[in-house]
Amino acid sequence: MEKEYIGKCDLCGDKIYCRSGFLDGIIQSNHKLICFSCQEEKIDD
Ligand SMILES: [Zn+2]
């Protein structure tokens, strides 16, 4: 599968990739990258 390295999670440091157009995590409004597992723990923005 084609994946492109985007950056590291701002909280846990996990590498975040874009897989076939889908990002592994989210980019917050402050432009920080957060992986999905950290996003679930951090609902408040
Ligand atoms: Zn994380």
Say whether 38 sits in a helix, a strand or coil: helix
Q: What is the pLDDT of residues 30-43, one digit of tens each?
A: 989 999 999 888 66
Task: Residue 10: count other Cβ atoms within 10 Å of its Cβ.
Answer: 18
What's the CA-to-centroid distance between 33 and ligand 1, angstroms? Answer: 8
* Alpha carbon of residue 23 to chain centroid: 7
Tokens 């990739």 belong to residue: 17
Residue 44 is predicted with a pLDDT of 60
What's the CA-to-centroid distance between 41 and ligand 1, angstroms? Answer: 9
What's the CA-to-centroid distance between 17 and ligand 1, angstroms? Answer: 12
HSE-up (13 A, CA, CB side) for residue 20: 1
Altogether, the residues listed in the chain come to a count of 45
What's the CA-to-centroid distance between 34 and ligand 1, angstroms? Answer: 5
Residue 42 is predicted with a pLDDT of 66
CA angle 7, 26, 36 (to 5 degrees): 95
What's the CA-to-centroid distance between 19 and ligand 1, angstroms? Answer: 17
